[in-house]
Structure formats: C-alpha cells, structure tokens
Amino acid sequence: MPDVSILNVLLYGQKIGTLTYLGGEKTVFAFTDDYISDPNRPTLSLSFKDQLGDLITDHRSFKIKLMPFFSNLLPEGHLRTYLAEKADLHPTREFFLMWVLGRDLPGAVTVEPADGEAWPPVDDSELTPEEQAQAHDDILRFSLAGVQLKFSAISDASGGLTIPASGVGGDWIVKLPSQEFQGVPENEFSMMSLARMVGISVPAIDLVNVADIGNLPSGVDRLGQHAFIIERFDRTEGGSVHIEDFAQVFGVFAEDKYKKASLANIANVVATESEGQDTAELIRRLVFNTLIGNGDMHLKNWSLIYPDGHTARLAPAYDFVSTIPYIPGDQFALNYSRTRTFAGLIKDELEHLAAKAALPQKLVLDTAKETVALFLEKWSSEKANLPMSADVVEAIDAHLQTLPIVKDA
C-alpha cells in the first residue's frame, strides 16, 4: 500500500477538497484554495463555520475514523458490516470504505480517488482483481448511510423498483423488513402517513412487496412481505441537493448520536439559520414523535437541506417509527431541554426549550397544542385504516393515556 493516498471531495460535481491517507491509519481533510477564496462557495456543512460565519480551514488528522462530517456519510451497524464484508475490508477502516462508497453518498457530496483507481490498495485483501471489481459493483448498490438494510433504487417504466446493477443513483430509498422486529415497514408507513395528515413535510412514500423489487443481491434476508419506500429528497430532476444531518452539524460521531446535544440545541440552529416556518415544523415533529412514542429521533434523524446551495432549511421528515411496541418504557432519543421522558414534555418543558433555544414562546406553545389536537383527531379516525399491526395500535393507545399534553388537550 502506498504511504499516501488521496480522495477528491466534490460538491455539486466540483472539487472542493481532499481526504488524504497519511499512513498509520491517519487521515486529514483539507479544502482547496479555490473553495476557500470563493465568496459564493456553496455550503458543505455548518460544522465548517466558526462563530462569525467564516470558513474553518485548519483541520486536525483523525485515526482510523474520518472526521465526523465524512464519517457520518458512511453506513452504520448491520449495513456497514455487510458492505465491509462484500468489499473485503475491516468495517472500522473508514477511508477505504469511503473509497468504494463515495460515488453515491447522501446529499450533493461525492468522493473519488484522485488517481482514478477504482479500488483501494488494501493490503489485507485476498481478492483477485476480477473479484475486486465484482465486489466493487456489489457494494455500490448499498451506499447510503443508516443502520437498517436500506438502499437506493430506480423506479422502472412498469412502476416497479429495480436496484441498479452499477449501484449509482436512484430516486427512492428502499428499507427492507427488520431483522429484529416484526412489521417495521408497515409501522413506518403508518407513522409517516399520520405525520403528513397533521401537516408535517413528508416525501412520497409507499409499501411495496419485497418480491417486486428487482435485482436484489443474494445474501439479503427477506424477513417480511413488505418493504417501505421513501422518495429521496436529495435527488431531483435538476441534480443532487445537498443535505447534512445534525450529527454532522455538531461534529459528533455516529456512536454519540443519542447524546452530545438536545432538541433545544437543534431548535436553536434551525431558528438561527432558517425561517420561522421551519421552527414551527420542528416543534410539530417533536410533539408528533412524542405522541407516537418514537424513541429513535437521534441526531442523525434530523437534517438540514440546502435548496439554493447556501441557505439551510429543515429537511423533510424521515424515519418516523413508533418504537414503544418493541421497547416498552422507551424514552425520547435526546433531551427535549432537560428531560428525555415522553411524559416530561409538559408546558414547563416546552417553555424551557423555547427560552434555551431563543424561540418565540407563543409559537412553541401554540404549535404544540395544535399538533396534539390534530393528531388525536387523525389517530381516532385513521388508526383502523392504516397497515400497522394491532400491537402498534394498542401500544400507542396506552401510551397516549400517560401523556400530560394529551390530558391537557
């Protein structure tokens, strides 16, 4: 293996920096001079801005992991293990994972080898060049960040979904049934449908039969009849749209996504960087996920989107699942402001959150009240019509009886 390998980092197809492997499992990121000197440069991440809004250009090296912004572009958990095995790489060696996954990352970032090499020179690989090329093709089918087995697919002329043979691109995210819990696709489809009913911004979604998904690679377990699909809001007819999650915003590695920040911290960023309607949308989502008992709204499940390449907006909603049927006694993933317990989201906690995040208190309280009322109306009329299991309905019904914000309503 060479002592130094370089990956070019592109934003909207333009080179803006490099990731350099220094040997000894150390890597460092650097912006290009052109990006630094461009007064109209597109935003890569709020984490690269200092308190005055100026670009931070001095970055330390990281060992084994890439720096948090890039590390969070890579898959987690089962999906990372699966991909690393396909590529004959150790799952902790993030520079080399980025080498093979960088062509289809979330948002408008792509990463490619500077010297044009299609496969990283990993010294512990026993694959032949032909096997490496095939593994490279396979791994690209699954290059999106996340824990579940989820991947990018292209809708075909017949209305079905096909996993691209080359694995690059795709306008839908397909999420297969969970290996641990029953009925997650049906649960997520139901919760996201309810979210849209209460006024939350939700991309196009659907449930599809797993058997109707073309070109699924071997080795992917099919543990249920349905897969949940959601349209990629970072892909449009005009090209890629840049996004980043709040683990990237706060410079937090994925393993710390349940800590290091609160909803009040997220709300402060949204209020500072975006528009008033996004603040109301954030409160609406916070209350909605409390009502359904979603304990997995961690830092990676809140994102910003840059429609004009520069200004941050709250990205559309995703990953809304009621977790309480699977994890009784679950809590919110992050502190609201001082507490994580669902029952702790009372008027006083909302007022504390508003004060800590510098939000208009009336906006926060009025939005919360309206969301509770609308949710209860839609839940009562629609819960029998949505495809979630009876266990999910029973768990949410029981959960609602424990929430002061419901009793107050």
pLDDT of residue 11: 98
**Rounded CA gap, 42 and 375, in Å?**
38
Phi/psi of residue 209, nearest 5 degrees: -70, 130
User: Residue 89: pLDDT above 90?
Assistant: no
Is residue 171 very low, low, confident or very high in pLDDT (cuts 50, 70, 90)?
Answer: confident
Alpha helices in 245-346 (DSSP H): 246-249, 263-273, 276-292
- The pLDDT tens digits for 31-51 are 999 999 999 999 999 999 999
Selecting among 296, 330, 366, 391, the annotated active-site residue is 296
Specify the amino acid at residue 65.
K
Mean pLDDT of the chain: 88
- Give, to the nearest 10 degrees, the angle between helix 129-139 and helix 94-101: 80
CA 132 → CA 112, 120, 183, 373, distances in Å? 17, 10, 36, 56
**Rounded CA gap, 294 and 236, in Å?**
29
- The pLDDT tens digits for 210-267 are 888 877 766 555 567 888 999 999 998 889 999 999 999 999 999 999 988 999 999 9
pLDDT of residue 142: 46
pLDDT of residue 167: 54
pLDDT of residue 136: 54
Fold of the 240-408 domain = 1.10.1070
pLDDT of residue 143: 44
- The pLDDT tens digits for 261-297 are 999 999 999 999 987 899 999 999 999 999 999 999 9
- The pLDDT tens digits for 338-371 are 999 999 999 999 999 999 999 999 999 999 999 9
User: Residue 77: pLDDT above 90?
Assistant: no
pLDDT of residue 146: 45
- Give, to the nearest 10 degrees, the angle between helix 184-197 and helix 276-292: 140
Is residue 33 part of the annotated active site? The answer reads no
Does the CA dihedral 128-134-137-139 come out positive or negative? negative
CA 389 → CA 190, 194, 197, 326, 395, distances in Å? 10, 15, 19, 12, 10
User: Residue 137: pLDDT above 60?
Assistant: no
- Mean pLDDT, to the nearest integer, of 377-383? 98
3-state SS record for 44-62: CCHHHECCCCCECCCCCCE
Question: Model-level pTM greater than 0.75?
Answer: yes
pLDDT of residue 141: 45
- The pLDDT tens digits for 173-219 are 888 887 778 899 999 999 999 999 999 999 999 998 888 887 776 65
Is residue 147 very low, low, confident or very high in pLDDT (cuts 50, 70, 90)?
Answer: very low
- Mean pLDDT, to the nearest integer, of 44-68? 96
pLDDT of residue 4: 63
